[in-house]
Amino acid sequence: MIEITDCTINLNAVSERLKKGNSGSIVIHYAIVRSTESGKKTNSIGFALEGDAEEEMRELERSLRVKWPVEDVLLIRRIGKLAIGEVISVVAASAEHRESAFELCQEAVNCFKKMKTFKKKEIFEKEEK
């Protein structure tokens, strides 16, 4: 499953979406906006789409499912202006065994950072004054 949203991500709903009859493990990673970036105080962060982000995420999901034996995968990305502490993205996997879910999540997080269709712009405190 993939999702691109400008709404707040409900973390409580993530595990419910992944529970499957044969799953013995659900691994969830979520990234949040931090208060500093490269030593500068961050006020907020913006994410915009450039290109076919849905297709890029679908392709990532397909490649992850081929590589690891998992019950389900959930990839969520936020767009818009996010405040400090807000959830930027979620990578989650349910699997019969934890190893597959952990490894899938690690690779997906690394791939999220390299995606070309999501453009990030930090807004530093100095810029807003």
Range 7-14 contact pairs with CB under 8 angstroms and sequence separation of 24 or more? 8/86, 8/87, 9/76, 9/78, 9/87, 9/90, 11/87, 11/90, 14/74, 14/76, 14/90, 14/92
- The whole-number pLDDT of residue 7 equals 94
**Separation CA 99–CA 113 (nearest Å):** 22
- The whole-number pLDDT of residue 127 equals 52
- The whole-number pLDDT of residue 19 equals 78
Is the CB of residue 69 less than 8 Å from the CB of residue 96? yes
- The whole-number pLDDT of residue 129 equals 46
- The whole-number pLDDT of residue 23 equals 77
Could you state, in chain order, the average pLDDT of each consecutive group of 10 residues for the chain (129 residues)? 93 83 86 85 90 95 94 95 94 91 94 91 70
Which domains does the chain show, CATH number per domain? 2-7+21-124 (3.90.1170.40)
- The whole-number pLDDT of residue 15 equals 83
Is the CB of residue 59 less than 8 Å from the CB of residue 111? no
At 9, phi and psi to the nearest 5?
Answer: -85, 125
